[in-house]
Structure 1
Amino acid sequence: MNERGFTLIEMLIVLMVISVLLLIVIPNITKHNGMINNKGCAAFVNTVQAQVKAYEMENNKIPTIQELIDGKYIKSDKCPNGRSIQINSNGEVSESGT
């Protein structure tokens, strides 16, 4: 009989190549994921800044984060990267800790 198939050595080599590729790809994916979340946070801060202005025009005062959430201007005080946002006394929105 002349059966064609993969030997154990060939299978091990293929598994080794796949493992090396995964070791190269996974760190790059996690690095890009963090960068995407940071850019998402910058966009979220801009959106909240616009909602602060809208609230200020309607109520003649600078809101707190809780007032924006209660008034349904925003749904959360958290950025995509998990950090909170804050509003200073001038009505400027920033990421906490920056």
Structure 2
Amino acid sequence: MKNEKGFTLVEMMIVMLVISVLLIVTIPNVAKHNANINDKGCEAFVKMVQAQVQSYQLKNNKIPTLEQLKTDQYIKATGCPNGTKEVEIDSEGNVTVVVTP
């Protein structure tokens, strides 16, 4: 009998099975955390826009619109970083999230 080093087909199949099971377990968790990260990013964006509204209000003594904030370069975008939600400013200067289809 020759002393050949290497893997048998059965050993390779077992390794592939273990890797497949690990991927099946981890992929849904990664997708769930990605959605959670996008929500946290949107919450941070709303807080940032709220701070810019207050800054504009202190400087100009009036509540701005999103377009005024954008043209005066207080903000660069009017929507959350993931692109699924827009923000709006009500008549009292409160910033809220609006879901766009």
Deviation at 1:81, TM superposition (A): 3.4
Number of residue pairs aligned between Structure 1 and Structure 2? 97
Structure-2 separation of matches of 1:46 and 1:7: 58
State whether residues 34 and 81 of structure 1, in contact with CA within 8 Å, keep that contact through their aligned partners in structure 2.
no
- Distance in 1 (alpha carbons) for counterparts of 2:70 and 2:19: 47
- Could you state the TM-score of these two structures normalised by the residue count of structure 1? 0.92
Identity of aligned residues (%): 56
TM-score by length of structure 2 reads 0.89
The 3-state SS of whatever aligns with 2:63 is: coil
Q: How large is the Cα RMSD of the aligned pairs?
A: 1.1
Q: Give the equivalent residue in structure 2 for 1:94.
A: 96
Q: Which runs of 5+ in 2 are unaligned?
A: none
Task: Pick 1 or 2: higher relative contact order, CA cutoff 8 A, min separation 6.
Answer: 1
Task: Report runs of 4+ in structure 1 exceeding 3 Å deviation.
Answer: none
